[in-house]
Amino acid sequence: MLAAGLLACGEAAGPSPAAPGIDYVDGALEPILVRGQAVVIEGFGFGATQGAGAVAFPRAGGGEVTAPIATAADWSDLAIRTTVPDDAASGGGTLAVTTAAGRRLTATVHVLPHVVFDAAALTWTSRGSFPQAPVGVALAAFEIPSGNGVATSLYAAGGAEQVSGELVSDSGVYLARAQPGGAVGPWVRQHDASDFTSRVLPSPRAFAAAAVATRYNSRFPGSALYVIGGIDPAGRAQASVLGADITGDGVAARFTPLEPLPTPIAGAIAVVRRGRVYVMGGTDSIGRPQQDVFVGRIGLDGHVDGWYVQPPLPTPRAYGGGVVLDDRAVAFGGVTDSVPPGGGLDLGTARLASSDTAAVSLLSGFFTGGWAPGATLLPAARSQFATLDLGDVVLLVGGMYAGAATNNAETIAAAATGDLLAPFAGPVGTNRIADQAGGILIGPSGVTWRDTDGSRRGLVLGGIDLTTGQRKAGVWGF
């Protein structure tokens, strides 16, 4: 529980020698993995060298299948790097490490099939509407194992509506259940656990980032929703981080302040990977794009065990996108000019088509070197788009770019393989949101999740229609 600290330990005569064991797999207590995925096993007593050691997964059809250890450097006494075999059995099972000394260590894992996403076949479908017509909503997916697949609930926190020409941030938190095939149920506004009012966040927030931590994606044995940074009702960026215990059915406790960011941030690139939260760029409290990069790890008690300052981006970026691959982080697009909350609709704002890239440790999650300018990944300078990471493919949806007024590249796609993100190209898909009365979306929010069969699903929510300047309440998905 976030509201309570760890239980105090009783007095002991002294520390006992650590026993060999597996602590975490892919940064989590009981991870959800995908066949073909690179994985790090953390623990103690594996052996300084592999020798006769091995890693095995349950095999589809029975027995075990040995996972590959690519190089000698991928095995140490504290960590093993491997890949989930293609014929690993779906569903929950036991991962086994045989140490160099012949001892068998085990951990529970959940394996999903690797379902390749076909961007050319992407078909946007209306998923109903959101109860409001906001921009700057923070979205996150709550995934838990269910049978041989997963069950997912989606959380939406904060956002802003336009009142008398000004963006006014909101404090509401909503939940919708994902259904097989990519559909979602109605968005239900949550209520405070103690007084049952509809105001869930302690203060309104928009253009924040959201993250969910569970035992299946972090070291935290509970489940929590985090709302990170964002703007307050006065339009100024905040450093505060809010967290609350959640379930698949809703918010279970009051939001409380957690460890704040080192500096106020709104419109940042935020990525959750292997139990870590990456916050890159964003604007300061007066709308100036920043180069700051922070990494926080979800702790055993659900708190963030410190926000660690990492090497800064070479270029200030806000309202852009980013991904964390196996051993590399990539940030792309965004604005470099001072902008109003949300980035605004000024065609003269300086935007970026370039990318920045830096090496990241698969084990620690920290950066192992500075950033460097990367390839020009976008076909045109672009900002205020939704980034949908689908594993093999990354989609960018909507946003401000040359040609946005005619919507000639509503959705573009890039292939992601290992540590390589290819240039984005498009448009992709069989249809456009704009062709279905969805508008030319600027600043939509996006989220992805895995369906019960392991296939990737996603949606975008809200945004401003560039043609009318009006906010949209639509939800569109695949």
User: Three-state SS for 97?
Assistant: strand
Same domain, 147 and 214: yes
Burial class (CB in 10 A: 0-12, 13-18, 19+), 13: exposed
Q: Are strands 91-98 and 138-146 parallel, antiparallel or unpaired?
A: unpaired
Identify whether the C-beta of residue 159 lies closer than 8 Å to the C-beta of residue 341.
no
8 Å CB contact between 76 and 48: yes
Phi-psi region of 45 (alpha: psi -120 to 50; beta: other; left: phi over 0): left
Q: Does 191 lie in the same domain as 207?
A: yes
Q: Is 62 helix (H, G, I), strand (E, B) or coil?
A: coil
Q: How many whole angstroms separate alpha carbon 137 and alpha carbon 160?
A: 7
Q: Domain boundary residue among 64, 82, 112?
A: 112
The answer on 129 and 53 residing in a single domain is no
In whole angstroms, how far apart are CA 287 and each of 136, 260, 339, 344?
Answer: 15, 19, 5, 11
| 189 and 59, same domain (yes or no) | no
Q: Is the same domain home to 257 and 332?
A: yes
Closest C-alpha among 472, 469, 390, 382 to residue 429: 390
- pLDDT score, position 169: 87
Q: What is the spatial distance between Cα 133 and Cα 168, in angstroms, rounded to a whole number?
A: 12
Q: Which two tokens stand for residue 284?
A: 């300061």
- Per-residue pLDDT of the chain (478 residues), as tens digits, is 676 543 333 344 445 557 899 999 999 999 999 999 999 999 999 999 999 999 999 999 999 999 999 999 999 999 999 999 999 999 999 999 999 999 999 999 999 999 999 999 999 999 999 998 789 999 999 999 998 889 999 999 999 987 766 778 889 999 999 999 999 999 999 986 566 565 689 999 999 999 999 999 999 999 999 999 999 998 899 999 999 999 999 999 999 999 999 999 999 998 888 989 999 999 999 999 999 999 999 999 999 999 999 999 999 999 999 999 999 999 999 999 999 999 999 989 999 999 999 999 988 899 999 999 999 999 999 999 999 999 999 999 999 999 899 888 999 999 999 899 999 999 999 999 999 999 999 999 999 999 988 899 999 999 999 999 888 999 999 9
* Structural domain includes residue 107: yes
Tell me which residue range forms the domain holding 340: 119-477
38 and 87: one domain?
A: yes
Helix, strand, or coil here: 404?
helix
Report yes or no on 440 lying in a domain. Answer: yes
Same domain, 175 and 282: yes
Residue 169 domain-assigned (yes or no): yes
> In the structure encoding, which two tokens stand for residue 195, read together?
């007084």
Residue 267 covered by a domain:
yes
Domain co-membership, 314 together with 189: yes
Partners of 400 in the β-ladder? 383
Whether residues 26 and 147 fall in one domain? no
Do 277 and 304 form a contact (C-beta atoms < 8 A)? yes
Please count the other Cβ atoms lying within 10 Å of the Cβ belonging to residue 259.
Answer: 16
Of 59, 82, 112, the residue at which a domain comes to its end is 112
CATH number at residue 50: 2.60.40.10
Amino acid code (one letter) for 132: Q
What's the structural domain count of the chain? Answer: 2
Structural domain contains residue 12: no
Amino acid at position 329, single letter: A
Report residue 277 as tokens. Answer: 């939260």
Residue ending a domain, among 112, 129, 147, is 112
CA–CA separation, 356 and 322 (whole Å) = 9
pLDDT at 393: 97
Do 56 and 125 share a domain, yes or no? no
Residue 10 within any structural domain of the chain: no
CATH of the domain at 313: 2.120.10.80
**Do 28 and 145 fall into the same domain?**
no
Instruction: Locate 270 and state its tokens.
Output: 């935020």
User: Does 394 fall in a domain?
Assistant: yes
Instruction: Answer for the pair 217, 32: CB distance below 8 angstroms, yes or no.
Output: yes
- C-beta atoms surrounding 165 within 10 Å: 5
Amino acid at residue number 163:
V
What does the pLDDT read at residue 6? 30
Place of tokens 């904060």: 158
Q: Is residue 16 part of a domain?
A: no
**Helix, strand, coil distribution of the chain in percent, nearest 5:** 5, 45, 55
Supply the pLDDT for residue 407: 86
What sign does the dihedral 195-462-424-309 (CA atoms) show? negative
User: Are 83 and 177 within one domain?
Assistant: no
